[in-house]
Amino acid sequence: MGREFYRKLAQQARDLAERADPFTRQRLLKLAGSYDVKGGNLARAPRPTERPLPIPRTAPPASIFSGPGEAG
């Protein structure tokens, strides 16, 4: 398969990604990047990205749970 073939597939995936939901968009852009690599277009190939760390959960203040147990 030639470079032009993979270039067209990558562009089709990007076109679909413009109209897709966020999850599908991310997968389509990754697919387009893999087509870029196969087609020899390394300039548009995806770069490894770091995922942000999740926001740590915090426990509610202890004062919420202390008291006589009646609504005030």
Parse the chain into domains and list their residue ranges. Answer: 1-41
The predicted structure's pLDDT at residue 60 = 63
What pLDDT is stored for residue 52 in this prediction?
72
Q: Write the Ramachandran bin of 69: left for phi over 0, alpha for psi from -120 to 50, otherwise beta.
A: left
pLDDT of residue 40: 78
Tokens 């389509």, residue?
A: 28
Q: What was the pLDDT predicted at 15?
A: 95
**pLDDT tens digits for range 33-45:** 998 888 777 666 5
Residues of the chain with pLDDT under 50: none
pLDDT of residue 32: 92
